[in-house]
């Protein structure tokens, strides 16, 4: 898109104060990016104002009826890139009426 | 599938554009003069339907979400439905009592941080905004709320990212999110310059360096689209082959489009605030979300995919040294340039 391809003078670039790698050194930038990709990858990208959902710790209080659907919903988050752990603690023993569910969601890729 | 993957299906909610600040880069032109707000009852009904459609995470932003009184209630309702929750805030309105209300229901608090203190104050249009925000961090830690920072990358502020990362780590943040400025809303009025694709390449190099330096202490999330990734997995930009109509119609909406955005005017749109109204999925005042979503899958989803395919065709070719771009800005801009007829005229929302 035109908005992302427009050029700026190197003087106005923040990177001009940081890098000796010059904007016209296309091969050098491409090589540096290739090396950096071994350390860092953009696996998904988020919209402005929306924090990445990969570092969630939560405590939920759900009643007995809701427990199954809520845990199922949480477990659906599990996958190769996301690890979800949930611990359920019953309230009201011997007949549990409420559960405290402690959830830890981590991005496994980092 | 979409840019946030197929695991976390997220809804960003803007319950109000009311804000205690009038930031220079605000994409939604929020400020103290904004009065309207969405009703919590309507949002609760929407979230129940949205959970059935496969969404499992919400993010509250605005406006300043802390100016919206029902915030704790909505977070609690969302949690009861199994949603992960996050709130994005400028941090200035945090208090011990407010945090005590939020903490049981809040997974992550994201606080805006725009650079070194002078830059932060300038961007926030408020003297001492940085020091006021910093003073609240003790309260956040005491409340036990996990928190992170969101840094807006402009054409000229990349050198400040090193300081920002050190600050975030020292304060105990778990996440530092780097998002490119978009020249919409007030950012357009102030003529702030977003990073172009070349600056995004340099930004990637700096983020990779900082992630290496702070490995194990802080997660850095760089919000740019990687053309190499999209070329391998076009569905991340909704640019894959369209499913058959009966398959799309039978799929939960979250399998077709995420993120979803609930705007302060009641429109539910795909991808980003300000997305072309002709592609809107529903309006909170036009009846059941489930029914509107079913209609969208039949009537609008093919047009949305067509738009996404055109955008990917426009941006896919780039030199090897410019692999990154701001896809959200590209598709949102394109959605306004290729309008389709809106769904209908909503009745006025609660004010």
Q: What is the pLDDT of residues B106-120, one digit of tens each?
A: 989 999 999 999 999
Listed ranges A53-57, B17-21, B116-120, B220-224; the one with the highest mean pLDDT: B116-120
- Name the pLDDT band for B205 (thresholds 50, 70, 90): very high
**Over the stretch B227-272, which tens digit does the pLDDT of each residue have?**
999 999 999 999 988 888 777 788 899 999 999 999 999 999 999 9
Q: How far is B174 from B146, CA to CA, in rounded Å?
A: 7
Tell me what the mean pLDDT of segment B190-206 comes to.
94
pLDDT tier at A109, thresholds 50, 70, 90: very low
Closest in A13, A37, A73 to B82, CB measured: A73
Q: Which of B52, B221, B331 to mutate to test the interface with A (most CBs of A within 10 A)?
A: B221
Most A CBs within 10 A among B201, B219, B235, hence the mutation to make, goes to B201
Length of chain B: 351
B:54-73 residues touching chain A, CB 8 A cutoff: 56-57, 59, 61
Cβ neighbours of B315 in A, within 8 Å: 1, 4
ipTM: 0.87
Q: How many residues does chain A have?
A: 110
Cross-chain residue pair A110–B194, CB shorter than 8 Å: no
Q: What are phi and psi of B6, to 5 degrees?
A: -110, 15
This prediction has a pTM of 0.84
Contacts of B307 (CB under 8 A, 6+ apart): B279, B331, B334, B335, B338
Say yes or no to pLDDT of A2 above 70.
Answer: no
| Cβ contact, residue pair A14, B57, below 8 Å | no
Sign of CA dihedral A77, A79, A83, A89: positive
What residues of B are in contact with residue A66 (Cβ under 8 Å)?
80
């Amino acid at each position: 898109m035109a908005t992302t391809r427009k050029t700026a003078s190197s003087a106005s670039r923040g990177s001009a104060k940081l890098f000796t790698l010059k904007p016209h050194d296309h091969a050098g930038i491409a090589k540096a990016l290739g090396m950096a990709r071994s350390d860092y990858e953009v696996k998904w990208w988020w919209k402005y104002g929306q924090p990445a959902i990969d570092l969630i710790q939560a405590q939920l209080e759900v009643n007995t009826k809701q427990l199954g659907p809520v845990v199922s919903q949480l477990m659906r988050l599990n996958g190769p890139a996301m690890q979800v752990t949930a611990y359920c603690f019953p309230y009201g023993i011997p007949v549990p009426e409420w559960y405290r569910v402690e959830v830890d969601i981590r991005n496994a890729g980092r | 599938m979409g840019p946030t993957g197929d695991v976390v299906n997220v809804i960003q909610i803007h319950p109000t554009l009311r804000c205690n600040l009038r930031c220079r880069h605000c994409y939604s032109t929020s400020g103290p003069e904004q009065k309207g707000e969405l009703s919590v009852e309507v949002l609760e009904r929407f979230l129940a339907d949205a959970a059935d459609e496969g969404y499992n995470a919400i993010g509250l932003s605005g406006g300043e979400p802390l100016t919206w009184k029902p915030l704790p209630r909505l977070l609690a309702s969302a949690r009861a439905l199994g949603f992960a929750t996050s709130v994005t805030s400028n941090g200035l309105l945090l208090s011990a009592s407010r945090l005590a209300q939020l903490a049981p229901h809040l997974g992550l608090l994201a606080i805006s941080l725009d650079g070194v203190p002078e830059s932060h104050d300038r961007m926030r249009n408020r003297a001492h905004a940085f020091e006021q925000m910093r003073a609240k961090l003790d309260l956040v830690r005491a409340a036990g709320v996990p928190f992170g920072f969101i840094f807006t990358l402009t054409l000229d502020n990349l050198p400040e990212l090193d300081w920002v990362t050190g600050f975030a780590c020292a304060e105990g943040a778990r996440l530092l999110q780097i998002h490119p400025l978009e020249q919409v809303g007030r950012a357009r009025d102030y003529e702030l310059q977003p990073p172009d694709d070349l600056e995004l390449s340099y930004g990637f190099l700096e983020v990779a360096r900082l992630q290496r330096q702070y490995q194990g202490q802080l997660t850095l999330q760089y919000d740019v689209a990687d053309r190499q990734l999209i070329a391998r997995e076009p569905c991340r930009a909704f640019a894959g082959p369209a499913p058959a109509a009966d398959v799309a119609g039978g799929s939960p909406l979250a399998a077709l489009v995420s993120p979803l955005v609930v705007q302060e005017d009641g429109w539910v749109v795909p991808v980003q605030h300000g997305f072309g109204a002709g592609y809107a999925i529903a309006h909170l005042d036009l009846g059941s979300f489930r029914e509107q979503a079913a209609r969208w899958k039949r009537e609008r989803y093919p047009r949305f995919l067509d738009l996404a395919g055109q955008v990917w065709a426009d941006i896919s070719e780039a030199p090897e040294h410019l692999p990154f771009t701001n896809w959200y800005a590209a598709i949102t801009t394109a959605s306004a340039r290729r309008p389709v007829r809106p769904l209908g005229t909503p009745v006025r929302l609660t004010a």
